[in-house]
Amino acid sequence: MPKLKAALFDIGGVLTSSPVIAIREYAIARGVDYSILGPMIADHDAAWSRWERSEISSDQFLVDFEREGRDLGIAISARGVMDAAFGDQSVREEVVAVVRHLRGKVRLGAITNNVVREGAEPRQQSFVLEELFEVVIESAKVGLRKPDPRIYHLACDHLGVTPAECVFLDDIGANLKGARALGMTTIKVNPDLGLIDELEAALGIALPR
């Protein structure tokens, strides 16, 4: 097995609090069946995924997402879900510190499924992605989203490594499965900080806590 030369990080749910948890909490508070809503967000061909690939505008997303919900038997505010997902997210400073510590020790990249929100104010955060990572791959800019294998290959190509030389951290199982199928070492990120122990073991580099 090749020595790991690169670490790839998801953003939401890894460097910041989880938008998935925020959406689930929003749905529960409003009596919306998340067993229906969750798959709507994961569906590669549905409105949420098309929005993350910039195939539709935010305005079109609002229309299409609510229509999909009605077709599946739930009444959901697309704007409410949007605001829950992209509202105030707390930064996981311990994880950001780990990324900073790894600068110069391994190649560093980020792969994030995100969107372009027309007219939205940029979110203020205590870190700048381009200062943390050598490569930042955003679904809304490249027209691909996890777990499409092409987005992982794109990150590897930019970093000059093979998938087998990477460890990938994400909070969503499907995204990890896609990376693992390419030969990446994967770490499932939870709200606790167990990821630091796992990443330290994978890389063989002492990490701050």
pLDDT at residue number 108: 98
pLDDT at residue number 191: 87
- Structural domains for the chain: 6-17+91-203 (3.40.50.1000), 19-86 (no CATH)
pTM of the model: 0.92
Q: Is 90 exposed, middle or buried (0-12, 13-18, 19+ CB in 10 A)?
A: exposed
78-86 vs 58-71: helix axis angle to the nearest 10? 120
- 10-residue stretch averages of pLDDT, the chain, 209 residues long: 88 95 96 97 96 96 98 97 90 96 97 82 67 96 98 98 98 97 97 93 96
pLDDT at residue number 87: 85
pLDDT at residue number 118: 65
